[in-house]
Each structure stands twice: as C-alpha cells, then as structure tokens.
Amino acid sequence: LLEMWFAADAGMAHHVGSDAHISSDEWAEHRTGLRLVPRTVWSDMLDMVHCQVLSTLSNAHIDSYLLSESSFFVYPHKLVLKTCGTTTLLYAIPRILSIAREHLGAMCAHQVFYSRKNFMYPDQQEELHQSWAKEVAYLDALFPDGAAYLIGKTNRDHWHVYLSGPESETVSNSLAGSPVLCPQMSRSSSQSTVHGVMQPSTSSDITVEILMTGLDAERMRLMYLGGASTEEGAAGGAAVERLSGISDIYPNAATDSYLFTPCGFSLNGLQGDGYFTIHVTPEPHCSYASFETNVSGSGVRDLHDPQATKHLVEQVTRVFGPKFVTVTVFKARAAEAPQSVADNAWENGVKDGLAKTADAAPLSFAPVNGYKAMDRVLYEFDHYWLRYAYYIRAD
C-alpha cells in the first residue's frame, strides 16, 4: 500500500497545468487538484507497475480506479495505490512525484506511507520487492528523512511500514517552472514527544486494514467463475458482493467490483469522502484477502471506537473465514474522538484524561469473536498512532 500526500488538505491543492482533465460526468464541478490530472496520465503511470484500469467510479470527493489485482484512489491532495501479486509498486513513486510537480506545482511530497505484510513467496516478487532492506534503500534514496519499521513477530506474520513527513509547513502551489522550496521533513519516530503541530485537516485521518490468509475453502467457492456467477467482470462481481455478504458491510456505499477468470475478486467502494477496497486470491495454496477502509462517521461505524473496529473485523472475517488475521489501525495524532466515544472510555476507567484529550491513543482492540489474539502492539509516532494486532482462528 502506497499513500502519498501533496498537501495537508484538499482545499490547498490547486491544479496548475494546462492540460486539466475536463470531464462531462456529474462530478466535474467538484474536481480540483490531482483529480484534474488527465486519466491518460494516470494510466501511463499505472502501466509502470503492471496495472491496467478495468473501470472507474467517482463521487464528489474521490475518483477510484479498479485495476487488475489493484486499486487506485485519487483525492485532490493525495493518492492511494494498493497492489497485489507481483506488481512493482515502488517504481511508480518517481513518476507520481513528477506528475504532482507538473500538475500541482508541488516540488516534494507532504507525507508518504508505504506498508505491506510479509510476503508468502518473496522469491516470486520483482527484484526490488524481494526484501524489505531493498525496498527501504530505494525509499531512503527518494526520502532521506524517512523511517522504516517492522511491526510484530519476526518469526510469524508481521507488517512492514515506511513513513516520511509530514512537512513542518505546507508547500505552496506555484506555476510550472517556478521554484518551490520544501522544508526538510522531520523523521518519523516512535518517541513520546510530538515535534510540531498536526495540520488540522489530517486530524480526522484514520485507516483500518485487515489482511487475511488461510481462507475458508467453502466460502471461497464464490470467488471462482461459476461459483456466484458464470459471468466475468462487473456482473459477476455484483453477484459475489450480494451472495458473500460483502454488500452488507457498507450497504449505502457505491461499489465497483470485478470477478476474474478463472478466479479472484476485486472491489472499490466509495461513501462520502471515504473509500474501502477488497482484493481476494482464493486458491487454497496461497489464499489471501485484503480489506482496507477509511470510511468513518457520517452515519456509519466510527473507526475511533474500538467496538466499531471489533464489529468491522468480525463482519469481514465472517465473509472470508480466514485462519490468520492481521489488523492495523492508523490514526492521526491530535484526532479527537467523538464525545460519545470519549465519555464511554472515561466511564470504563481510562485514567489521566487520555480519552478526552485531542492526542488520545487508540483504545485497545476489543476481543474478536472466534479468534485468539496472538500479538498486540501500540506504536506512537510523531504524527500518527498505530495499533497492530495478529489473530489466529480459534478452531
């Protein structure tokens, strides 16, 4: 997963190029910043990581691209690119930086996140992605003040994460060719002191990722052509959503899904200014499913509430029946939990006012029905909290 921000807020990202993409759909008047980059430019960038665009879905806030084994989300000020299989994700970064420079006048990234689970078959990846050390060396050359972490047990499933930024100041837009000086990014660290103040716009930033292996073979029959549907593509994808229970996770979301031949399933979903995405490889010897979302509040479950996260994990695992589950929650520091959540935490004995401060750590994960927690980690970075958990199905 690669997430790159070029401004702290959508309102700070303004397109400066001469070739803005002017669409004729119902969302045209809402597009600003990176959303005005021509789609041919994005397609060429995605070709570099061996991803082809299958379909697109948009709303007032986001453009999403459903890709072969991958997903791409474009906000005015940031991009999210999630890939699976043997794609070459990191090779896209120099081109993305070039696109942002040309179309936003941004001479550097505001902040960068790269993360992945340990590979099941690292030797089958492209050379750059065969080891975390190679990936870190490549990223360090691009972001000298970045920092790399390994979360979880080194002899079991674990999670790699690389962070750079955010900048101490907001980068201004400029016309192409004009100099834009980027302040030095502060190294992301797990020290206890916050260096600088979070931009207000990032304070509600929270993302939950659920990575699953050892999927239930019976439930995975739906992910094969001829299981939920005999039609490849969008029609088959819609059938999988309906029969698997995926459509119940966010019933009011707009979705775009695809059933592959002979098997495999991908989905992008949009609700308000949030997205969720699912990718499934159902073959028994390498079964894997990923679920990621930043949809929170506004009439849906609030991801700041550990009970809401628990219910989300339980709902997702019921769909796939995995044996092993990794859950991560990334929450911006200075993100203030809703008063109802803070009050509930307070009443349940959270001391020293932590639940009522603007810099409260995410509360511990509630027990997940049917699973035993094997690993639980809380990281305190300069600008984000990270809560990590690893579960094994209690057979």
Distance CA 117, CA 372 (A): 19
* Terminal Cα distance for the chain, rounded: 31
Burial class (CB in 10 A: 0-12, 13-18, 19+), 74: buried
List the strands of the sheet with 2-5, edge to edge. 53-58, 63-67, 70-74, 78-83, 2-5, 111-117, 158-164, 147-152
Q: Which residues are catalytic?
A: 69-70, 84, 266, 279
Q: What share of the chain is helix, strand, coil (3-state, %, to 5)?
A: 25, 30, 45
Distance CA 111, CA 95 (A): 16
Distance CA 138, CA 140 (A): 6
Q: Is the separation of the CB atoms in 73 and 63 below 8 Å?
A: yes
Distance CA 284, CA 276 (A): 25
- Bond prior to 251 in cis (omega within 30° of 0): no
| DSSP letter for each residue of 333-353 | TT-PPPHHHHHHHHHTT--TT
The two three-digit tokens of residue 212, written as one number: 């699953």
At residue 180, φ and ψ (nearest 5 deg) are: -130, 115
Q: What is the largest CA-CA distance in the chain?
A: 62
Determine the residue type at 275: Y
Residues in the chain: 395
The two three-digit tokens of residue 131, written as one number: 């080891």
Q: Is the separation of the CB atoms in 296 and 309 below 8 Å?
A: no
